[in-house]
Amino acid sequence: MGARRWFGRTAVCLLITGLLSAGPIEALADPVVLVRVTVIHAKKSPPFLHDRVKPLWDTLRKTFGDRFAYYDLVSSTEREVARQGRVVVPMPDGGTFAVEYRGVTADGRFLKLTVVHDDLTSRVRIHDQGLFFQAGKRWQGGVLIVGVQASSVSR
Amino acid sequence: MWWRRWKSKRAMLAADGLRERDPANDAEVQAFQRLSRLVRDAAPLGPGEVPPFDAVWAGVERRLREPRPEARTALAGLRAMLERRPVLVLAPVGAMILAAVLGVLWWTRPAVPSNQCFVDSYEVESGTVLIDQDPDQPERPTVIWHQVDSRGEG
Amino acid sequence: MDALERDLVAAARQGDREAFRVLAERYYGRVYRMLLGRTRDPEAALDLTQETFARALRGLPQFEMTAAFHTWLYRIAHNAVVDRARRLRVHDAQPLEDDAAPAAADEQPFPVGPRAPGNPADAVEVEESLRAVRAALDQVRPAYREILLLREVEGLSYHEIAAVLNVRPGTVMSRLFAARMALREVLRDRYGLDVAVQER
């Protein structure tokens, strides 16, 4: 009975110590994130949907409406990066698309990213697992749509 | 007609001495008083119609000697109620089950990630940048349109 | 509550069975009359009267001396009736005897009591009216009959009736009005006795 109580108290002490010591250190560290960059070639017609774009179909439809009916996958790149890490993707028009992960905001609610596509550099904040698109570059009778998604992998 | 009922109710209260009598409605007040008198006169029992007290008391004492009925457990009470008024038991139980199922569905629903995106700044050397987003639909991804020429499709 | 009654109740609360017996003897007639009016069954009324006093004796520690003892007894009696109705699955919501043929006036469906004023010329007419009222009382819903008896015969105030029936005084007023109107309707439609018509 005494031993059980001793073990119980020790476990509680260890738990409190662990929470007190580990909490702030973890809070200071930015999580590693998985950055996914999906390059899509979109056109008005003919109707087409690449198999690997199908999971995105609903989102594409909601975002672009009936502006495009043709979605072909050009490339899909996934990479885990720590803070200041970059994912660079070659574009079919010869340019490059780069995403740099700049850590989380002070309140921990957003992931900060810098996106560089040719001469456009933008700084954005998105939620964990959030997705946004960059689009507009003309290519082969359509445009290039780049989807960027970032998800934290560890804390 | 509701107003006739209303007047009649006021007359009843006046007949019971709970309101001032309204001379315009006196006939109705008297009708209620007559009714009360008739019931009072008709109802009382004659001396021979009340059972003798000893017979009543014997029954009371017999009951007091009997062991008190055990307090019913909640389950037994529920079972008795289920037999008597099944709807009263089944309706709340059904509602609770439905609420539990809805709660489980709600809590286990697939989380829709918010695609809210804040473009803090951008720099561009040529073309036009347009931020397309709908604040009312946080799940709809933002599109950063970069239109290099005026014929762009964005 | 008079001084004697207060002393008897106090003694009964201390466990004096004889004091309670005196109280029971004082009130059993009224309780029986109320129960008979409600059930229309002398055997059931007797049974319920005994049950009422047995419950009252057991529940005396819970009795608050501020309330009238007889009102408290009526309340117990009312609860006993409700419990019995539940046991028998008899509910007031059932279509009661409204559709049944009116009881013949000479069947004395309602207990007969002392009556009639001294003028022999009016005696027959008065007695007929009273018979009609007894028969009509027999044909309104038990809940209506109960509230009519509590008010007209037992002379309880609206608040006392509310305490007995465990309802709000506003509900007492509504139910009493409905009961009186129902009785008037039965008297007028089935017995040709319209209380709204002036007496000679």
Q: What is the mean pLDDT of each run of 10 residues along chain C (200 residues)?
A: 83 88 91 88 92 92 81 92 76 39 38 45 75 89 91 90 90 94 93 75
Taking the Cβ of residue C111 and every Cβ of chain B, the question of whether any pair is shorter than 8 Å is answered with yes
Closest CB from C51, C115, C180 relative to B63: C51
Taking the Cβ of residue C24 and every Cβ of chain B, the question of whether any pair is shorter than 8 Å is answered with yes
Contact C113 B44 (CB under 8 A): yes
User: Are C150 and C161 within 8 A, CB to CB?
Assistant: yes
Taking the Cβ of residue C180 and every Cβ of chain B, the question of whether any pair is shorter than 8 Å is answered with yes
User: For chain C, how many helices (H) and strands (E)?
Assistant: 8, 0
Rama region for A129: left / alpha / beta (φ>0; ψ in -120 to 50; rest): left
In chain B, which residues have their Cβ closer than 8 Å to the Cβ of A100? none
Optimal mutation site among B41, B49, B68, B82, interface C, most CBs of chain C within 10 A:
B41
Strand order across the A120-126 sheet: A86-90, A96-104, A111-117, A120-126, B117-124
Mean pLDDT taken over chain B: 83
Min Cα distance A8 → chain B (Å) is 32
DSSP per-residue codes, B72-84 = PPHHHHHHHHHHH
CA distance B40 to B49: 17
Q: Is the pLDDT of residue B151 over 60?
A: no
DSSP per-residue codes, C121-143 = HHHHHHHHHHHHHHHHHTTS-HH
Task: Give B154's pLDDT tier (boundaries 50, 70, 90).
Answer: very low
Distance, first Cα to last Cα, chain B? 70
Provide the 10 A C-beta neighbour count for residue A63: 24
Q: Quick one: pLDDT at residue B149?
A: 64
Nearest to C85 by CA among C41, C32, C55: C41
Secondary structure element (H or E) that encloses residue A150, with its range:
strand A142-152
ipTM of the complex: 0.80
pLDDT, tens digit (0-9, with 9 covering 90-100), for B92-119: 889 999 999 999 988 877 666 689 899 9
Closest CB from C25, C33, C58 relative to B53: C25
Q: Write down which chains contact chain B via at least 3 CB pairs under 8 A.
A: A, C
Optimal mutation site among B115, B120, B126, B129, interface A, most CBs of chain A within 10 A:
B115
Secondary structure element (H or E) that encloses residue A113, with its range:
strand A111-117
Closest-CA residue of C relative to B33 is C195
Burial C71-93 (b: 16+ CB within 10 A, else e): bbbbbbbbbbbbebbeeeeeeee
User: Are A100 and A85 within 8 A, CB to CB?
Assistant: yes
Q: Quick one: pLDDT at residue C99?
A: 34
